[in-house]
Structures are given as structure tokens and as C-alpha cells.
């Protein structure tokens, strides 16, 4: 059967939009996927048409793709099946809303929104309009993540008791970021929790929560501590202790510890010498995952019966000799022909459209809301407040010229 081509629109043209779009245009056959193909039919930049056109050229989009100088123009484009949103998280709520109201399916970068109220409203809107909506938590769709969850769900680790996950990078914030940078600016919902801590929470959730039967999933209790970044008052380090209630017959409560920091590194030499950054422990053994936990490529399963299963998970792509490169920021360029790993989530979104599903398979919308609620609670406990404009849910008070 001929593959169905999914026509993507790209909203915003910053760093991750470029990485995502390059991966998107890698042939799905390199991942043994034959039912869908991706194409880019349009991109929009709030900084003008020429920036959108430069973006399309840089990512090698088809020459027929349209460049737009505003986001609403993209949302109105009738040739677009789904829009990928890659603005700072401060703007996700208004950008997703714009696209859903225009009748578009949406894949939206993490963190999904600034707070749970915004997330809930978007979920309601998507459901009311029968549109696909998914948080672009790409790591969940890696084959490595599928394997880890399967090891848990098939009982290889026994009864799961706890998990720890750390996403920490020594980013030298005073040297790397001006006060207006999205990582540290309160106006752009900066801070480590929403940007990097979301991955630690993702690993705790996908191992302790997603792996439970849907009817047995219960929101966790939250205890936390945060260190603030003095120049702007956002969070630079966060420690979150989650207690997931579970019946005594099924093993009792589970604990997750999610940590994150942009002040210290969990992989000091970048070669894994510091050891795993994730440990998931059950009564029969444990699973370890090496950093970076947003793009992990190495696991170790250790069982009490003496089994040790080491695996590496390289990213597919066009391969050596292709003269094709992708990569992001600190991680730099990947080896020639090796993808970054963002195509897995794009494949999932495309397959959902073909199958008529309205949510991602490995992170439903209720779970995205639940994680936003956890982050709300951490912020409440530690007096982390964003400007009222970007916490808004009516969408009217924070149009700062970008929509």
C-alpha cells in the first residue's frame, strides 16, 4: 500500500524547529516505517517572511513550501495537516489555541504550557474540535523508552518500587545567557524545571505512572525544594520527590525522585563516566539509563539472578556518505547521517492522523495535564511565579506582538 503523506507546517524558526524539521524530512524507511511519509508545506516566522524563507532553505524543505511572516497566516493555510509549534513555552498556550481554533492538528514542544489551567483548556478545545493534540515529548517515542517500559510492564524488574532521574547540565548561565534568554527570563517562562526538569519528570512518569493500567494511574503527592537563579529569580536547581499511591496488594506506594539543574552536570566528561542518570528499581532488579536523559542511547538491565543486559541505541538517519548532519546546541553535530531522534515523535503524530487517533500513544493528554499540575505544585511550594500575562488562560492579555 502507498504511504500516506502528512503535510506539516512549522510555527517558529528557532533552534529546535530547525533540528526537528531536518529530522522530519529523513525518509521514514530508515526507521522501517512504510505507512507514512512527511513533507513540509509551510513555515511561519513572527520575525518576517524572509526569516521563514531562510529557514525553509536551511532545512532543505521542498521548493514549493510557503514562507509566512505571521503565525495566523500559517494557521489558515488549507494545505497544512498538522502544525509543529516551537516557540518558547510562554507562548505555547496562545499558539496552540490559534492553531486549534483554525482547525489544525498540533504537535507542541515541551513544556506543554506554563501551567495546568492552560493545558486543560487546550485539551478541552482539541477534544471539542476533534483534533489531534500531543506534547512533543520526543524521548517517550524512542525505541529505548519503549524497551524500558516493556521491561517494567512484562515484570522483568519485579514489582517496581522507585525511580530516580536527573537531567543536569553545567550551562554556566551567567556566561551563556543574557537576562532575556528564554532559559532564564521569567517573561518567557524560563527556569530549569519547565525546560529541563520536565525530562526528569517524564522518566519518573513513564516508568511509575504510564506503565500502570489507565484505571490504576493516580496523581502523585509532591514535595520539593528549589534553588533560585539570583539574576532573574527563576529556578536553577529543583529536587522533586513524588509519591505515587498504589494498593498494598500491588506493592504499596512507589517513589520517584526527579532532579534537575543548569548549575552542575550529571555527565561531567560527556562520555558517561559519571554513570547512569536514571535508575528504576524493582524487586527483581534495576534498569539504568545513561545521560543525556532527553536523548539517551545506552541502557543496562541488572537482575538479581545475575543477568546483565547492556544495550546501545544508535539513532538512524540517512547514514554515512549522505553529507547530512543534524544536532542541537551543546550536544553539537551528530555523526554524518545520524538523526537527532525527533522523527520518532513525528512518526507517531503522523500515524495517529492516519489511524484517526487524537492523542499520542505513549503520553496521553491527561498525563500532560497531570505533569503540568506537578510543576504547578513545585512552583507553589517554592514561590516561583511568572508574570501574570503568561500565566493567563483567556489568551487576551498577553499578545505581545508575536501572534
Ligand X SMILES: NC(=O)c1ccc[n+]([C@@H]2O[C@H](COP(=O)([O-])OP(=O)(O)OC[C@H]3O[C@@H](n4cnc5c(N)ncnc54)[C@H](OP(=O)(O)O)[C@@H]3O)[C@@H](O)[C@H]2O)c1
Q: Least distance from C-beta 328 to ligand X, angstroms?
A: 6
Q: What size, in residues, is the chain?
A: 403
157's CB contacts (< 8 A; 6+ apart) are: 151, 280, 281, 282, 283, 284, 285, 286, 287, 301, 303
Q: Least distance from C-beta 356 to ligand X, angstroms?
A: 26
Closer of 66 and 87 to ligand X (Cβ): 87
Closer of 91 and 217 to ligand X (Cβ): 91
Cα 261 from Cα 264, distance rounded (Å):
6
Closer of 181 and 228 to ligand X (Cβ): 181
Q: Least distance from C-beta 292 to ligand X, angstroms?
A: 10
Rg (the chain; Cα; Å)? 20
Q: Least distance from C-beta 19 to ligand X, angstroms?
A: 7
Q: Which chain residues interact with ligand X by CB under 6 A?
A: 12-17, 45-47, 51, 86-89, 91, 109-110, 138, 182, 188, 195, 294, 328, 402
In the chain, what are the helix, strand and coil shares in percent, each to the nearest 5? 35, 25, 45
The three grid cell numbers given for residue 118, joined into one nine-digit string:
492552560
Closer of 10 and 351 to ligand X (Cβ): 10
Q: Least distance from C-beta 139 to ligand X, angstroms?
A: 8
Closer of 13 and 118 to ligand X (Cβ): 13
Determine how β-strand 36-44 pairs with β-strand 4-11.
parallel
Q: Least distance from C-beta 14 to ligand X, angstroms?
A: 2
**What's the per-residue H, E or C state across 9-69?**
EEECCCHHHHHHHHHHCCCHHHHCCCCEEEEEEEEECCCCHHHHHHHHHHCCCCCCCEEEC
Closer of 15 and 130 to ligand X (Cβ): 15
Cα 24 from Cα 341, distance rounded (Å):
9
Amino acid at each position: 500500500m502507498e504511504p500516506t503523506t502528512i503535510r506539516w507546517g512549522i510555527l517558529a524558526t528557532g533552534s529546535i524547529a530547525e533540528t526537528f524539521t531536518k529530522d522530519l524530512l529523513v525518509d521514514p524507511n530508515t526507521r522501517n516505517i512504510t505507512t507514512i511519509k512527511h513533507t513540509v508545506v509551510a513555515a511561519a516566522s513572527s520575525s518576517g517572511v524572509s526569516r521563514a524563507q531562510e529557514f525553509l532553505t536551511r532545512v532543505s524543505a521542498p521548493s514549493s513550501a510557503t514562507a509566512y511572516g505571521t503565525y495566523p497566516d500559517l494557521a489558515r493555510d488549507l494545505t497544512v495537516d498538522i502544525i509543529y509549534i516551537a516557540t518558547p513555552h510562554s507562548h505555547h498556550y496562545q499558539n496552540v489555541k490559534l492553531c486549534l481554533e483554525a482547525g489544525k492538528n498540533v504537535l507542541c514542544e515541551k513544556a506543554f504550557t506554563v501551567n495546568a489551567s492552560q493545558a486543560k483548556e487546550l485539551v478541552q478545545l482539541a477534544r471539542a474540535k476533534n483534533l489531534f493534540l500531543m506534547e512533543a515529548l520526543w524521548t517517550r517515542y524512542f525505541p529505548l523508552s519503549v524497551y524500558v517500559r516493556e521491561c517494567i510492564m512484562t515484570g522483568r524488574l519485579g514489582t517496581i518500587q522507585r525511580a530516580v532521574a536527573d537531567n543536569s547540565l553545567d550551562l554556566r548561565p551567567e556566561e551563556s545567557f543574557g537576562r532575556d534568554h528564554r532559559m532564564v527570563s521569567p517573561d518567557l517562562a524560563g527556569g530549569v524545571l519547565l525546560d529541563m526538569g520536565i525530562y526528569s519528570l517524564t522518566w519518573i512518569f513513564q516508568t511509575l505512572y504510564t506503565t500502570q493500567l489507565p484505571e490504576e494511574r493516580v496523581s502523585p503527592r509532591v514535595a520539593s525544594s528549589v534553588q533560585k537563579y539570583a539574576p532573574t529569580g527563576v529556578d536553577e536547581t529543583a529536587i522533586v520527590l513524588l509519591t505515587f499511591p498504589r494498593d498494598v496488594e500491588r506493592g504499596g506506594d512507589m517513589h520517584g525522585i526527579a532532579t534537575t539543574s543548569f548549575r552542575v552536570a550529571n555527565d561531567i566528561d560527556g562520555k558517561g563516566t559519571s554513570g547512569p542518570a536514571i535508575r528504576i528499581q524493582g524487586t527483581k532488579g534495576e534498569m539504568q539509563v545513561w545521560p543525556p536523559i532527553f536523548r539517551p542511547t545506552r541502557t543496562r538491565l541488572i537482575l538479581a539472578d545475575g543477568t546483565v543486559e547492556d544495550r546501545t541505541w544508535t539513532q538512524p538517519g540517512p547514514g554515512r556518505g549522505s553529507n547530512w548532519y543534524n544536532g542541537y546546541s551543546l550536544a553539537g553535530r551528530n555523526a554524518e547521517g545520524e538523526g537527532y531522534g525527533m522523527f520518532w515523535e513525528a512518526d507517531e503524530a503522523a500515524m495517529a492522523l492516519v489511524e484517526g487517533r487524537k492523542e499520542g500513544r505513549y503520553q496521553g493528554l491527561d498525563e500532560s495535564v497531570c505533569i503540568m499540575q506537578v510543576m504547578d505544585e513545585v512552583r507553589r511550594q517554592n514561590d516561583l511565579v511568572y508574570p501574570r500575562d503568561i500565566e493567563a488562560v483567556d489568551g487576551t492579555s498577553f499578545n505581545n506582538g508575536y501572534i
